[in-house]
Amino acid sequence: MAALLVDVDGVLVLRGDPIPGPKAHKTLLKRLRRTSRALSRKKKGSANRRKAKAKLAPFLSEGNRAKTMEAPVTAIIATDHAFYEHLPTLFPHADARSWFVGNQPLIDATAFRNATLHAAYVLLAARALGLDCGPMSGFSNRKVDEAFFPDGRTRSNFLCSLGCGDPAALYPDMGRRTFEETCSFA
């Protein structure tokens, strides 16, 4: 019997191969304990993080500013519009770079779609680790891009605050549309 595991690189079929023995497991746990101890001694809340949040604050909508500033981490989810320059390494099976060079509409559509899909994996991974996610679009993309990505190659898509949310601050369940209301088959 095979189990199906989906990861960022595609689908893997697990064949039931044996998992490495307890000695390898103990070695990895020992290394993890050492790393954990080293990290726990470090001072939390670096000056760089505070500076970056202060830099981001004026570009946030009023409704997002306070909660973003309180969040332990806020990620700028962005799109690399020169992604195709990396295709000879990432997709060496064909001359995929040539598909994009000089075709700005294709570059923009592909970059946005793929970056958004990868961002969804980041949100799923964060949720799997027990973190709450606060994705938002209430900010000035243009100003964030000018401040954080001045080369113009990278453009912001959305922001996402990560941490442990306060259940008391959640809105009551506002309901969801049904599958039939949202999706249709072609």
Domain ranges of the chain: 66-166
User: What is the structure's pLDDT at 18?
Assistant: 56
Determine the Cα–Cα distance for residues 80 and 107; give it in Å rounded to an integer.
10
The predicted structure's pLDDT at residue 59:
96
Asked if 163 contacts 71 with a C-beta cutoff of 8 angstroms, the reply is yes
What is the C-alpha separation between 87 and 130, in angstroms, rounded? 33
Checking if the pLDDT of 115 tops 60, the result is yes
pLDDT tens digits for 152-185?
Answer: 999 999 999 988 888 887 777 778 888 888 888 8
Q: Which CATH superfamily is 66-166 part of? A: NADH Oxidase (3.40.109.10)
Query: Could you tell me which residues are beta bridge partners of residue 60?
Result: 139
pTM of this structure: 0.69
Which of 2-6, 96-100, 132-136 is predicted with the least confidence, judged by mean pLDDT? 2-6
Q: Regarding beta strands 154-163 and 73-80, do their DSSP bridges make them parallel or antiparallel, or are they unpaired?
A: antiparallel
